[in-house]
Amino acid sequence: MINVSKIKKGIVIDHIAQGQGYKIFSQLKLDEIEDVVVLLRNIPSNKMGKKDLIKIETEIPLDLTVLGLIDPNITINIIKDGLRVDKIKLTLPLKVTGILKCKNPRCITQHEKVKDVEFILADAASRIYRCEYCDSHTSL
């Protein structure tokens, strides 16, 4: 078993479903920050069988709202002086940019290069979002 020491200040993203860790790593653009980041995959877990986990030792605030869309069961722990000072409960974001793609073949976003297409939460129960351009429904 590989051991990764506790972080002093930053964020621990825990209980990530096995295999989803890299997706979250990419979505949060963690490859672009210069602080220490660790992605652990396939960690044995009593609750989940196996899980992924990310530790980020940083002082930079990260926009974590998108994680609610990827997996609302993820746990986010905020660490200060080596101790957990906050635990963030994830909810579905009301607006999402950059992770969803419109599936309507008649939508302009399928035919032109459109940056930062925004999707608006249409139905929280079924996790359905609406394209800001054509109003079509889509989900992850």
Contact residues: another protein, CB under 8 A: 104, 106-114, 122-123, 130-137
**Nearer of residues 4 and 108 to another protein, judged by Cβ:** 108
**Nearer of residues 76 and 102 to another protein, judged by Cβ:** 102
| Shortest Cβ 131–another protein spacing (Å) | 7
Does residue 21 come out as left (phi exceeding 0), alpha (psi in the -120 to 50 range) or beta? alpha
| Shortest Cβ 108–another protein spacing (Å) | 4
| Shortest Cβ 59–another protein spacing (Å) | 33
Residue (of 16, 62, 58, 66) closest to 41 by Cα position: 16
**Nearer of residues 75 and 109 to another protein, judged by Cβ:** 109
Cβ neighbours for 122, distance < 8 A, ≥ 6 positions apart: 128, 129, 130, 137
Instruction: Report the 10 Å Cβ neighbour count for 76.
Output: 19
